[in-house]
Amino acid sequence: MRIKTWRNAVIGAVLAVGTAGAAIAHHSFAAEFDRNKPIKLQGEVVKFEWVNPHSWIHIRTTRAGKSEVWRVEGGAPSALLRRGWNRNSLPAGTKIIVQAFQARDGDTRASAAEISFPDGRELSLGNPTTEAVAAAAKRAKN
């Protein structure tokens, strides 16, 4: 009986530790980003990270005469695949315009709902939370 109880306790501890990391890694939009601080970033892609749980676009932009590299969170690779993206969709040097929401802590980090290109094409970054926020903001304007 003691061995069975000990085994169950060990299994429970392993599961608790394993799921805690996943819970910390996947945050809520409102905890990290401010829907009342929209930002438009225009510049060149430095790097596109095709990683879980969210993709990241690093974009070099100039604001107030100062060059900055912003990290822009997009959707998960699985969500991007459903929208026609792949890991090579944004090579370094690609010029883009990102509509996003700034990080609450003031860091050069944002969460994006969509990007557009100088030729007018628009693409969704597959982030359902920011897509919903952007849609609500658009409805409020109309």
14-58 tens-digit pLDDT: 454 444 444 445 557 778 899 899 999 999 999 999 999 889 999
Q: How many domains does the chain have?
A: 1
Residues 6+ apart with CB under 8 A from 112: 57, 72, 73, 74, 98, 99, 100, 101, 125, 127, 130
Say if residues 72 and 98 touch (Cβ distance below 8 Å). yes
What CATH number is given to the structural domain containing 83? 2.40.50.140
Instruction: Tell whether 127 is covered by a domain.
Output: yes
pLDDT tens per residue across span 55-97? 999 999 998 899 999 999 998 899 889 888 899 999 999 999 9
Q: Say if 108 falls within a structural domain.
A: yes
